[in-house]
Amino acid sequence: MTGLWASESPLSTIENMRNRHEQSKAFQQYFIHNIQPQLTAPQTQPIDKQRLSSLLKDIEIIAFYTQDKKIARAHLDLFQKAYKQGLTNTDNTLRAYGTLLYNRLFSEAEGFYRAHPGSGLSPPPVIITRPISTFENGTVTIYFPAHNQPNTFEEKAINPLQGSFLLVLAHPLCHFCFRAATAIGQNADLVAFMKQHALWLSPPDANLSWQAFNQWNQRFPYARIKVIKYLRDFPLLTSWGTPTFYVVSNGQIVDKLVGWPDAAQLQKLKRLIQKHFPKAAPARDPQSYSIKAETNSAAL
C-alpha cells in the first residue's frame, strides 16, 4: 500500500504530491471528473455494496485533503441514501459524522447527531463565532477551548505571516506531544520561551474533544493548544505530524524539529531555539502570560 490507496490507484499519485495547493486542486478535479458522475447518474439498479464502500472511502479521504464543504456534503448525501437502504454500518456512521466535523459543518453535524442516537457519537461542539468584520487582513481563524464552558470553542484570529516565532504542531491525545510538553515544563528557560515566542496549534481534527484540549491547557499553561480551522490557511506547513516544531519567520519556515522519540530531543530543541532566537529573553512576569500571550498570538 502507498498512503491510503493501493499504489496502482490514481489517487495515490495525488496523495503523494508535496505542493498542498496543487494537491487540493487535483483532488477536487478528480472528484468532479471521476466521482461526481457516479453520484449523479440515474440509478437503474440497487447500489452494489462493494462499490458503495469504495465510493464512501474515496469521498471521505478527498474531503479530508481538500476540506471542501461541497465534497463533504456529497459524502453525507451518499451515506444517507445508503443508510435508507440498510447498506451502512457503525463505522460508516462514525466516518460520515467525522467528515462533517472535520469540514466544520457543525449545523449538519448537529442534525446528524440527533438522527443517529445510540451510534456512539459524541455531541458536536458549540462554536462561539466572531463577526467577519472583526478580522484584519492576513488573519486566519483558529479555535480555542472556552474556559469553564464544556464542549465549547471560541474563534480567535491570528496572522501566521508576521514576525518570527516557534509554531508547534501538537495534539492533546498524542503521547509524544505529552512527553515533549512534560520535558519542556521541567526547564524554566524553555517554559519562559514558550510563553513569549511559541504558538501551539493542533491540526484540524474530526475529534474536537473540548475535554482533551481543556485538560491539556490546564496541565501545560505554557503550551496552550489552539485548533486550526482550515488546512488551507497554513500552506507553509508541509507536514502535519505531531509534535513538530517549526521556526517561522515572516511567513516562511526556516527550520524545524520533528518528533519526540527520546529525551535527547530536548537538547535538540534547545539548540534550535538558541540558533534562531538568540536574543529571546525569559518572561519577566509569568502571571502576565494569559494577557500577553493572547495579544502576541493575535499579532502573529
Task: For 30-64, write each residue's pLDDT tens digit.
Answer: 999 999 998 888 776 667 788 888 899 999 999 99
Query: Which pTM value belongs to this model?
Result: 0.82
Q: What is the mean pLDDT of residues 100-107?
A: 95
User: Residue 267 burial (CB < 10 Å; 0-12/13-18/19+)?
Assistant: exposed
Number of H helices, E strands in the chain: 12, 8
* pLDDT tens-place string over residues 183-204: 999 999 999 999 999 999 998 8
**Residue 293: per-residue pLDDT:** 37
69 CB neighbour count, 10 Å cutoff: 14
**Among 277, 219, 221, CA closest to 247:** 277
| DSSP strand pairing (198-202 vs 225-228) | parallel
Mean of pLDDT values over 250-263 = 93
Asked if the model's pLDDT at residue 93 lies above 90, the reply is: yes
CA distance 47 to 43: 8
- Whether residue 145 contacts residue 128, with contact meaning beta carbons closer than 8 Å, is answered with no
Q: Is the distance from CB of 143 to CB of 227 less than 8 angstroms? A: yes
Q: Is the pLDDT of residue 133 over 70?
A: no
Q: What is the pLDDT of residue 159?
A: 84
Q: What is the mean pLDDT of residues 233-240?
A: 83
For residue 135, the model assigns a pLDDT of 53
| Closest of 158, 231, 139, 140 to residue 198, by C-alpha | 158
Per-residue pLDDT, 33:
94
What gap in Å lies between CA 157 and CA 297, rounded to an integer? 8
Longest dimension (CA), the chain: 72
Give the whole-angstrom CA distance, residue 254 versus residue 164: 10
